[in-house]
Structure 1
Amino acid sequence: MKTYELFQRGETVGVFQYESPGMQKHMKNLKPTVFDDLIAMNALYRPGPMEYIPSFIARKHGDEEIVYDLPEMEEYLKETYGITVYQEQVMLLSQKLADFTKGEADVLRKAMGKKQIAVLDKMKPKFIEQASAKGLDAKKLEKIWKDWEAFASYAFNKSHSTCYAWIAYQTAYLKAHYPAEYMAAVLSNNMNDIKSITFFMEECKRMRLPVLGPDVNESFYKFSVNKDNAVRFGMGAIKGVGHGAVQTIVENRKEDGHYKSIFDFAKRIDLRAANKRAFEGLANAGGFDCWADTHRAQYFADEGDGVSFLEKAVKYGAKHQENENSAQVSLFGAASDVQIAEPIVPPCEDWGTMEKLSREREVVGIYISGHPLDDFNIEMKTFCNGVVEDFNDLETIVNKEVTFGGVVTDVQHRVSKQGKGWAIFTIEDYTDSFEFRIFGEDYLKFRHFFVINSFVYVRAFVREGWVNRDTGKKGDPRIQFNSFQLLHDVMDTYAKKLSIQLNIKDLERETVSVLYDLIKFHEGTQTLNFVVYDNAEKIKVQMPSRKNKVKISQQLLNSLKEHDIIYKLN
């Protein structure tokens, strides 16, 4: 049952053939309960038959009458609620209605599949005559054939669709019953595709499934699941950390247990397989965060001698191994008692969030422990009508104002031959990064926003390109920047009203108490509104609060979300 519930919720990201947004929407509406529903939707979700999906859904739920052109058709169309979906149904019906032989039915199937109109035209009179001879209504037979001709443009065989649906059911079963293991496998399968990794990590977040960064005491080459049922990043995803390095780390860990410190780690692993670059990649990606007494910045700090602590730790490990392997043994065969002093961990300040995240991205290609924009997630969802990715094809957004947010990741200030300032700057959001250019007065007006790691909210209008009077050729669309603002200020500027949505069915004393405390704690000047609704009775009541006003903030909205209270910002 869990598997069908997953389909019914449309939570099919990573499920073969059912993961597109359109299919997810139809799954939510269809609420499949039997395997035949999955087979049919797989066949229907393609150009042509898609127009039958609303009717298919309505018929399943009894909102539309199931009609058969002829009562004889029910036997083969019952499973698809009276809608012809498969080639096999046409084959069987042609045999039942017009006594086609199995060979003729197969010719009909091939003609439909390959859209052989001449063959279909030749078979039509035979179908009408033979079926009419059995006492069936000729007008209805004409309609059936006409429907079949339209069906020829999208005909799909059930056996094919069944195989796809069976694979989908198996993958959905794994996702429903073993979510962490399944997502770890999906992530491992896409390890070399950064965009897919980012996409599937978002799905893990939606599933409330923690995805933890790499850890030398837990990670393997690929993504895995730890004892707490969290997905653990694979060390193989880190630049400079190859198969050999991961192999020696994992083997030594299995043999002698967890590594107790960077020194224990350097002493035990094969330093020929894990070189200095591998150590640096692991440190930047957070692979050494398991040792609480050392933070990331310390591995790259030096005490004025130009040699980082990490290099010293590697040299310490190499010396230790050299000493172990040397021939300096006593007469009794005991190992030499020469002690090598551990290097001192240099004291220094830890990196800030942005430094950590940018270094993670440098070695893995994505942010692991978070995203720079996570603190502005609500602003990005509520007050932006576009994303950075939109600017990759300006033709799609011509004559539109696009509002979007992001972090400035690169800036180059330039001066033209005429001595005028201009800039190239890159903004990145959850979807993509884009390199913009800004000139003239716009540059003078907004240049103070072009600071690396600053979070900006931009309003940009995309104008049509100029038309060259001589050639008549149209130039590329141009981006006009209307305004820049810091993302920190967006909530104060644009959030005017908070509407709290309450289902009367879920309205309990505890919810009211939580709301009372939150509203008291976040008193302010912005309008508060309650919307109480009853889906069963189709009633919705707007209840503006005359007495209370609130200060709309990330903290308040996060608290509402934690308590599963739905809200809307205006």
Structure 2
Amino acid sequence: PMENIPTYCEVKNGVKERESVHPLIDHILEETQGIIVYQEQVMQIAQVMAGYSLGGADLLRRAMGKKIAEEMAKERPKFEKGAMANGVDKKKASEVFDLLEKFANYGFNKSHAAAYAVVSYQTAWLKANHPVEFMAGVMNCDIHLTDKLAIYFEEVRKRLELPWVPPCVNRSDATFKVVDGALVYALGALKNVGLEAMRLITDGRKVNGADRPFATLFDLARRVDLKRVGKRPLEMLTRAGGFDALDLNRRRVFEALDGLVAYSAAVHEQKASNQVSLFGEAGDDLPEPRMPPCDDWLPAERLTEEFKAVGFYLSGHPLDDYMGPLRRKGVLTLDEVTEKATAGPLVAKLAGVVAGRQERKSARGNRFAFAQMSDTTGGYEVTLFSDTLEAAREHLEAGSKVVVTVEATMESDQLKLLGRSVAPIDGVVADAGGAGLRIFVNAPGAIAAVADVLAGARKAARNAGRGPIQFCLMDPALPGEVEVDLGAEFPVTPQIRGAIRSLGGVLEVEEI
């Protein structure tokens, strides 16, 4: 069992003395610091202490490992009787049987354990000394398993703090790779794309064996048969930001896909018929489709679309613009709750975006649920019993933003969260009151664009908390930073903050 690992380490390193289980069997446990580790030790103890034959000891090991209650009920008196015949009192014999029973479900045979140990040392060394390459390999092993990729990527981003590159048609391959010490996200890891379709794109990037990035979306359409790639994979690439290097307006690209696919098909049909343009390569004389004029998705919309393609939030989190007011209401992050729970149980408030929930029925017929959520520091699961579930069900739809009050405890180094109540996040934010914004811009025109957003907010968000607005103009043409205060208070909500952040010329938005 896992709880024996600290004892094993402490005994091996001389921190504590090895405890005797019984003089008859201590020699069997000598190489494993007095702790049962191998299945062979179970069999040896049964043979030496209780007089089992090796065949009988193997049957005992099997019954313990499979938790066969009837067999175990027969074996206990047999073990105790055999041990007593060897001078062991019944109480001690029962204690040893309990020890064997507790171990058996966790143990490996020695040869199996040795192989696992070698692999563990190898992978631990690789992760410690070549973490980017190691994580790329691990993620390629599970490239089609989104749930596992989410865990691995959290390890990359949070725990290991490794450099990474988002999915990009000009930099990514179909699989994960390492370039200049950074993990490059795989195009083939996106949902509903397929490795072969992504290889059509990465192969099209190569010219005479050398990597030649696409210059524009139309260049890509001429070099890659987008009809063969398929519209659905192209939509996923757009949602994930795979075309950002060619056009930062994801919504415009998304709405232009039909035209791009048709243009690409015409170019490749011309190539297939060996038609040569008077102007150069095939397709050069075909008119490029017009890109639809439209505003990009707002930051929250971009993240929602990104989630559809990646399976988790990659470039940011929907709660990024909520954290200021949530802090004022005493809401903690998952990382903070985890750290506090290691010191003891606590009741805390957590913000989260609901990813999903599974409802079950207890033996008494009461409904309970497991709800999966995430905040800006990671994903977590909350258990909700019947009363809490009934009161909160309408707030637990996928995509909902909530604040959940939880009882947090640590069990075997795992955070356990029991939900007490769930509230919509907008109500909590409204109760937090207003705070001002300090907006960093790199062009005077951005100030006018922000002013337009604020003017609209005054009409649309009359009941929102208000705060002062300050600008910091960071223009290289000026001798220093120029600060501008609008001299009035304006409605400030997470949605308004997100809208401001999405404007051209806005570098950063922070709360004051």
Give the TM-score category using the shorter length. 0.5 to 0.7
8 Å CA contact 1:87, 1:109 repeated in 2: no
RMSD: 5.0
* Displacement of 1:203: 1.4
- Find the counterpart in structure 2 of residue 108 from structure 1: 57
- Find the counterpart in structure 1 of residue 264 from structure 2: 317
- Find the counterpart in structure 2 of residue 76 from structure 1: 28
8 Å CA contact 1:407, 1:429 repeated in 2: yes
Pair 1:207 & 2:160 matched? yes
**Worse-matched range after superposition: 206-215 or 183-192:** 183-192
- Aligned partner letter, 1:82: G
* Displacement of 1:282: 1.7
- Find the counterpart in structure 2 of residue 17 from structure 1: none
1:300-311 equivalent positions in 2, closer than 5 A: 300=254, 308-311=255-258
CA distance in 2, matches of 1:152, 1:337: 75
CA distance in 1, matches of 2:283, 2:424: 73
Pair 1:354 & 2:309 matched? no
- Aligned partner letter, 1:316: Y
- Aligned partner letter, 2:206: K
The C-alpha deviation readout for 1:191-226, integer Å capped at 9, x for no partner, is 44443332222111121124433211233333x123
- Distance change (3 Å), C-alpha of 1:384 and 1:187: farther
Pair 1:286 & 2:233 matched? no
Secondary structure of residue in 1 paired with 2:234: helix
- Find the counterpart in structure 1 of residue 228 from structure 2: 273
- Find the counterpart in structure 1 of residue 101 from structure 2: 153
* Displacement of 1:68: 3.0
CA distance in 1, matches of 2:240, 2:119: 35
The C-alpha deviation readout for 1:155-184, integer Å capped at 9, x for no partner, is 335424434434433433333333223323
Pair 1:182 & 2:182 matched? no
CA distance in 2, matches of 1:219, 1:281: 15
Secondary structure of residue in 2 paired with 1:265: helix
Unaligned residue ranges in structure 1 (runs of 5+): 1-43, 132-137, 301-307, 388-399, 411-425, 437-441, 444-448, 462-476, 493-570
Secondary structure of residue in 1 paired with 2:97: helix
Pair 1:403 & 2:356 matched? no
8 Å CA contact 1:285, 1:363 repeated in 2: yes
8 Å CA contact 1:408, 1:427 repeated in 2: yes
- Distance change (3 Å), C-alpha of 1:113 and 1:299: closer
8 Å CA contact 2:240, 2:310 repeated in 1: yes
- Distance change (3 Å), C-alpha of 1:262 and 1:106: same
- Distance change (3 Å), C-alpha of 1:248 and 1:330: closer
Q: 1:232 aligns with which of 184, 190, 200?
A: 184
Q: 1:372 aligns with which of 305, 310, 318?
A: 318
- Distance change (3 Å), C-alpha of 1:169 and 1:377: farther
- Aligned partner letter, 2:233: A
- Aligned partner letter, 1:486: V
Unaligned residue ranges in structure 2 (runs of 5+): 65-70, 335-345, 357-370, 385-390, 408-418, 436-512
8 Å CA contact 1:380, 1:405 repeated in 2: no
- Aligned partner letter, 1:367: Y
8 Å CA contact 2:403, 2:422 repeated in 1: no
* Displacement of 1:63: 4.1
Pair 1:486 & 2:435 matched? no
1:18-57 equivalent positions in 2, closer than 5 A: 44-45=1-2, 50=3, 52-53=4-5, 55-57=7-9
* Displacement of 1:149: 1.8
* Displacement of 1:330: 9.8
- Find the counterpart in structure 2 of residue 218 from structure 1: 171
- Distance change (3 Å), C-alpha of 1:374 and 1:215: same
- Distance change (3 Å), C-alpha of 1:491 and 1:192: farther
- Aligned partner letter, 1:364: V
8 Å CA contact 2:267, 2:282 repeated in 1: no
8 Å CA contact 1:457, 1:490 repeated in 2: no
Secondary structure of residue in 1 paired with 2:268: helix
1:112-131 equivalent positions in 2, closer than 5 A: 112-115=61-64, 116=71, 118=74, 121-122=77-78
The C-alpha deviation readout for 1:479-510, integer Å capped at 9, x for no partner, is 68699321894999xxxxxxxxxxxxxxxxxx
CA distance in 1, matches of 2:220, 2:140: 25
Pair 1:64 & 2:16 matched? yes
CA distance in 1, matches of 2:422, 2:239: 38
- Find the counterpart in structure 2 of residue 295 from structure 1: 249
- Find the counterpart in structure 1 of residue 467 from structure 2: none
- Aligned partner letter, 2:201: I
The C-alpha deviation readout for 1:40-95, integer Å capped at 9, x for no partner, is xxxx33xxxx4x55544543444432233666755432222223444423544677
CA distance in 1, matches of 2:381, 2:97: 48
- Aligned partner letter, 2:99: F
* Displacement of 1:262: 0.9
* Displacement of 1:407: 5.1
CA distance in 1, matches of 2:8, 2:244: 53
Bigger CA radius of gyration: 1
1:459-478 equivalent positions in 2, closer than 5 A: none
CA distance in 2, matches of 1:144, 1:180: 51
8 Å CA contact 2:136, 2:178 repeated in 1: no
* Displacement of 1:268: 0.9
CA distance in 2, matches of 1:234, 1:152: 47
Pair 1:429 & 2:374 matched? yes
Secondary structure of residue in 2 paired with 1:215: coil
